[in-house]
Amino acid sequence: MSTTTVTKSPVGSPGPATERRAPVAEGRIGLRANLRHIGALARRNALQIKQDPESMFDAVLMPIIFILLFVYVFGGAISGKGNNDVYVNYVTPGLMAMMGMNIAMAVGVGINDDFKKGVMDRFRTMPIARSSVLIAKIVVEVGRMLIATSILLGMGFLLGLEIHTSFFHLLAAIGLSMVFGASLMWIFILLGLTLKTAQAVQGMAMLVLMPLQFGSSIFAPPTSMPGWLKSFTDYNPLSNLADASRNLINGGPVAHSVWMTLGWALVITVVTAPLAVTKFRKKT
Q: Is residue 205 part of a domain?
A: yes
Phi-psi region of 111 (alpha: psi -120 to 50; beta: other; left: phi over 0): alpha
Q: Is residue 222 part of a domain?
A: yes
| pLDDT tens digits, 26-82 | 456 777 777 888 888 888 888 888 888 887 888 889 999 999 988 888 777 776 666
| pLDDT tens digits, 29-44 | 777 777 888 888 888 8
Q: Is residue 115 part of a domain?
A: yes
- Say how far residue 26 (Cα) sits from the centre of its chain: 26
Q: Is residue 131 part of a domain?
A: yes
Q: Is residue 17 part of a domain?
A: no
Query: Residues 167-174: contacts with CB within 8 Å, 24+ apart?
Result: 169/248, 169/249, 170/248, 170/249, 172/248, 173/93, 173/96, 173/244, 173/245, 173/248, 173/249, 174/96, 174/146, 174/149
CA–CA dist 211, 92 (Å, integer)? 19
Mean pLDDT by 10 residues, the chain (284 residues): 45 42 51 80 83 83 90 75 78 88 83 77 74 87 92 93 92 94 92 86 85 86 83 89 93 91 95 90 75
The model carries a pTM of 0.81
Q: Is residue 258 part of a domain?
A: yes
How many domains does the chain fold into? 1
CB 15 within 8 A of CB 9: yes
CB 212 within 8 A of CB 101: yes
